[in-house]
Amino acid sequence: MRVALSTYGGRGDVEPMVAFAARLRERGVQVRVCAPPDEDFARRLDAVRVPLVPFGPSARALATGALPATKSATSAGEMVARHSVDLAAGQREVLPEVAEGCDVLVATGVPAVVGGARSVAEKLGIPWIHVTFQQLTLPSPYRAPLAYPGQSYPPDVTDIPTLWKLHDQHMNALFGEAVNTNRAALGLPPVDDVASFLFGARNWLASDPALDPWREPADVDVVQTGAWFLPDERPLPDDLQAFLDAGEPPVYVGFGSMPVKASTDLSRAVIEAVRAHGRRAVVMRGWADLSAVDEQDDCFVVGEVNHQALFRRVAAVVHHGGAGTTATTARVGLPQVIVPQGADQPYWAGRVAELGIGAAHDGPAPTAESLASALGTALATETAERAAAVAGEVRTDGAAVAAKLLVKQLS
The string of pLDDT tens digits covering residues 318-367 is: 999 999 999 999 999 999 999 998 889 999 999 999 999 999 999 998 99
Task: Give the pLDDT confidence of 185-215 residue by residue, as tens digits.
Answer: 999 999 999 999 999 878 999 999 999 999 9
Residues 109 and 202 in one domain: yes
What does the alpha-carbon distance between residue 334 and residue 117 come to, in Å, rounded to a whole number? Answer: 37
Task: Give the pLDDT confidence of 150-191 residue by residue, as tens digits.
Answer: 778 999 999 999 999 999 999 999 999 999 999 999 999 999
Give the range of the structural domain holding residue 129, as residue numbers without chain letter. 2-229+396-410
CB 59 within 8 A of CB 34: no
Residues 152 and 187 in one domain: yes
Residues 77 and 195 in one domain: yes
CB 31 within 8 A of CB 3: yes
Residues 166 and 260 in one domain: no
Residues 10 and 69 in one domain: yes
For residue 219, the one-letter residue type is D
Residues 245 and 179 in one domain: no
CB 206 within 8 A of CB 132: yes
For residue 365, the one-letter residue type is A
What does the alpha-carbon distance between residue 192 and residue 170 come to, in Å, rounded to a whole number? Answer: 13
CB 108 within 8 A of CB 12: no
pLDDT for 263: 47
**Quick one: which of 284, 308, 286, 304 has its CA closest to 229?**
308
Residues 262 and 140 in one domain: no
pLDDT for 69: 55
Residues 87 and 193 in one domain: yes
Residues 223 and 297 in one domain: no
Task: Give the pLDDT confidence of 279-319 residue by residue, as tens digits.
Answer: 999 999 988 889 998 989 999 999 989 999 999 999 999 99
The residue length of the chain stands at 411
What does the alpha-carbon distance between residue 117 and residue 106 come to, in Å, rounded to a whole number? Answer: 8
What does the alpha-carbon distance between residue 409 and residue 396 come to, in Å, rounded to a whole number? Answer: 22
* CATH number where 340 lies: 3.40.50.2000
Residues 213 and 262 in one domain: no
pTM of the prediction? 0.92
**Number of folded domains in the chain?**
2
Task: Give the pLDDT confidence of 140-150 residue by residue, as tens digits.
Answer: 999 999 888 77
Residues 403 and 307 in one domain: no
pLDDT for 94: 97
Residues 184 and 310 in one domain: no
